[in-house]
Chains A and B, each alone.
Chain A
Amino acid sequence: MTGPGVAWYLGVAAFLFATGSLGVLLRRNPLIVLLSLEIMLNGANLALIGFSRNFGNGDGQIFALAVMAVAASEVVVGLGLIVALNRKRVTLDVDRLNRLRG
């Protein structure tokens, strides 16, 4: 088995995860927040697959597939919500969306 060692993969994964979490924390547009969440999930996926390859065990890849399925459904719901908010002419700013009453 050739290619870079597992540390490289983990490094990239950590970078992706950190980028994503910073995006979630700092950005106000819910669309961007959603994208950043996806980046975090992909970071986690990369870590899973990296370990899976390192230990020669397929479990991590199965997990990654499951995470992708969850991410896909989450995007569906999240984008749907954002579109609906936009249609109602609500300002797309997570700091101002602080009331559950609607």
Chain B
Amino acid sequence: MTTGAWICLVSPLVSAILITLGGTRLSRRTAGYLATLACFVSFSGALASFVAMLGRSGGDREVVSTAWTWLSAGRYSSGFEVLVDPLSVMMMLIVSGVGALIVAYSIGYMDGDPEERRYFAYMSLFVFSMLLLVQGGNLLLLLAGWGMVGLSSYLLIGFWHERPNAIAAAKKAFIMNAIGDATMALAFFLLIKQSGGLAFGVLNAHYSSTTANLVALGLLGGAVAKSAQLPLQTWLPDAMEGPTPVSALIHAATMVTAGVYLIVRTHAIFEQAPKIADLAAGLGAGTLLLAGLIALVQVDIKRVIAYSTMSQIGYMFLGAGLGAYANGMFHLMTHAFFKALLFLAAGIVIHALADEQDIRKMGGLRRLLPGTYWASLIGSLALVGIFPFAGFFSKDSILAAAMAHGTYGYILWVAGLTGTFLTGLYTFRLFFIVFGGEPSAFVREHFHALKRDVVGVSMGGTVAVLAVLSLFGGWIQFSPWWHPVDTWLRTVAEPLVTPKSWQEWTSIGASLLLGLAGIYSAWLFYGARRVAVPRLDVAQRILERKFYFDELYDALFYIPAVLLAKGLYVLVEQPLVRGSVTELGEDARDVGGLVARLQTGLLRTYVLAIATSVAVLAIIFVAVR
């Protein structure tokens, strides 16, 4: 069981190292094949652990395998170890499986880019970091993986480093994530102080309510930053500057789902701090509404999908915060399928239209890209949560769990339902604008179809696989009748809420209706164009500026920091630091000039000086004695 897990963890790292060391000795294609192969090997490793775990009974399913003692200081020590339990195996399967498909897709998408090898090395590193995050056998390794995910995302978002926008976006993502890393590290320091270690077991100990609240808050800070939830959500849409498969990887398999994983993994501490858990759920609900609203006015195809990710992660936070851990994780899984599908389908569209991402220029792609049309339709329906697509099964059970959480839960439930309507509206707005109607002038001019070579097969094939997963992936669990995911995760995280049957059915009915209503309004506005899109300039502007979060952070942090720096430059740097350096140099030169005058070069003066000094010394010697 652990052998599979180690193979799963190490093989992407090996590929990253090989591609880096191989350099130009590897052809560009080979680098892509190597990375893809490594990810599929990784997936088979995960599959092997999964099969081995199926053969064990519930209590024996948690195994820690330690390679060596990684760090020890005083009484503290942490091993380099992997934890194999139902939760980590589930994450391993999602990360390596969806990750492998996305890397395979990249072979086609990145074909001809001048720096393909670097790209595939980074991709492998990204998958490795995420696997380290989910497999790490203690909180310290989790934090190491957490940081490395931030690093790899920085490298990949800024992959096209000649574009200033991409660099700015990469820095933004890194800084936002660093805030989360810092709060997490603080939480870990507190844990070490209180319990002396960072094994996952210390989370189960009982803490005073202040400690529990602070630790949970620190962990929530990390989760919120990595998963792009309120109030650290601003980096995610900018991260669309990276190549499309990178966006797919960030959104579907790695990175943003890490926050949900963290909450589920450390649920014991959140259960001791119910207020913080409620806060997590509330932030999730807030984000899903906010992102859904902003997505309504975005005109970049990838940004619309990015906001839909934020909104869906909001649902997962909602579920995880309420204690419906299995439901949150299940939604994470189905979301990985359909979000990867949507991004990769959008990648095909962008590829076919000579890298154009503005949906206002698109239209009528239905006949030109029939396969992508169907794939996107499946993905969009799954995203809205329409029966029988994947999202239907996972989203509704989160809403049902919200109903079972008292009054606060009902508020969240209403927010979640509103979100469903918004999801239907913005998803199908995108869908109808891009695929519906007649081909626009821009499309007629720039369209070029995929060829049936490696490029076309790698892109089309992976999209087809993901479409099948989005179609059938949700059938694993239908919470009113069968729930293997709940049972699978029960030994790791016991759910706190058990919705009653009528709550399940009410949620299913209501969200289905609202989702369909959203789609219908999108059809009226953008598909059939029977109703003019209502325009409200103020609202439009607010949404286009993304609720002014960027401006707010600029005003709160960036501008004061710049002013402080400028002030210090004028008041301290110039007079004190720079002035003192010049002054010191000049003084040293003056002293040097004086001393140099003593050095005449005349032997006689030297001898006289020596003789006089010796005489004086002798006299002093005699006199003192």
Q: Please report A residues at the B interface, Cβ cutoff 8 Å.
A: 21, 24-25, 33, 94-95, 97-100
Shortest C-beta distance, A66 to chain B (Å), equals: 20
Contact, CB under 8 Å: A94 / B611: no
Q: How large is the interface on B (under 10, 10 to 19, 20 to 34, 35 or more residues)?
A: under 10
Partner of B604, one of A94, A99, A100: A94
| B592-610 residues at the A interface, CB under 8 angstroms | 600-604, 607-608
Shortest C-beta distance, B528 to chain A (Å), equals: 95
Residue of A nearest to B601 (CB): A98
Shortest C-beta distance, A94 to chain B (Å), equals: 5
Residue of A nearest to B614 (CB): A21
Shortest C-beta distance, B93 to chain A (Å), equals: 79
Contact, CB under 8 Å: A24 / B601: no
* CA of A21 to CA of B613, assembled, Å: 14
Contact, CB under 8 Å: B611 / A21: yes
Partner of A95, one of B602, B607, B608: B602
Shortest C-beta distance, A74 to chain B (Å), equals: 15
A and B contact pairs by CB, cutoff 8 A, 9 listed: A25-B604, A25-B611, A94-B602, A94-B603, A94-B604, A95-B602, A98-B602, A98-B603, A100-B601
Shortest C-beta distance, B394 to chain A (Å), equals: 87
Cross-chain pair count, CB within 8 angstroms? 22
Contact, CB under 8 Å: B601 / A25: no
Interface of B (DSSP majority class): helix
Contact, CB under 8 Å: B601 / A99: yes
* CA of A99 to CA of B608, assembled, Å: 19
Shortest C-beta distance, B592 to chain A (Å), equals: 17
Residues of A within 8 A of B601 (CB): 97-100
Residues of B within 8 A of A100 (CB): 601
Residues of A within 8 A of B604 (CB): 25, 94-95
Contact, CB under 8 Å: B602 / A25: no
* CA of A94 to CA of B604, assembled, Å: 8
Residues of B within 8 A of A24 (CB): 607
* CA of A94 to CA of B602, assembled, Å: 7
Residues of A within 8 A of B600 (CB): 98
* CA of A49 to CA of B148, assembled, Å: 79
Residue of B nearest to A24 (CB): B607
Shortest C-beta distance, B457 to chain A (Å), equals: 77
Shortest C-beta distance, B599 to chain A (Å), equals: 9
Residues of A within 8 A of B607 (CB): 21, 24-25
Given contact pairs A25-B604, A97-B603, A98-B603, enumerate 14 new A-B contacts (beta carbons under 8 Å). Answer: A21-B607, A21-B611, A24-B607, A25-B607, A25-B608, A25-B611, A33-B603, A94-B602, A95-B602, A97-B601, A98-B600, A98-B601, A98-B602, A100-B601
Considering the complex of A and B, which 10 residue pairs feature the smallest CB-CB distances, nearest first?
Answer: A98-B601, A94-B603, A24-B607, A98-B602, A25-B607, A21-B611, A99-B601, A25-B604, A95-B602, A25-B608
Shortest C-beta distance, B459 to chain A (Å), equals: 75
Shortest C-beta distance, B593 to chain A (Å), equals: 18
Residue of B nearest to A99 (CB): B601
Shortest C-beta distance, A19 to chain B (Å), equals: 13
Shortest C-beta distance, A79 to chain B (Å), equals: 17
Residues of B within 8 A of A94 (CB): 602-604
Residue of A nearest to B603 (CB): A94
Shortest C-beta distance, B122 to chain A (Å), equals: 59
* CA of A33 to CA of B602, assembled, Å: 13
Shortest C-beta distance, B604 to chain A (Å), equals: 6
* CA of A94 to CA of B600, assembled, Å: 12
Shortest C-beta distance, B618 to chain A (Å), equals: 12
Shortest C-beta distance, B194 to chain A (Å), equals: 71
| B390-412 residues at the A interface, CB under 8 angstroms | none
| B569-625 residues at the A interface, CB under 8 angstroms | 600-604, 607-608, 611
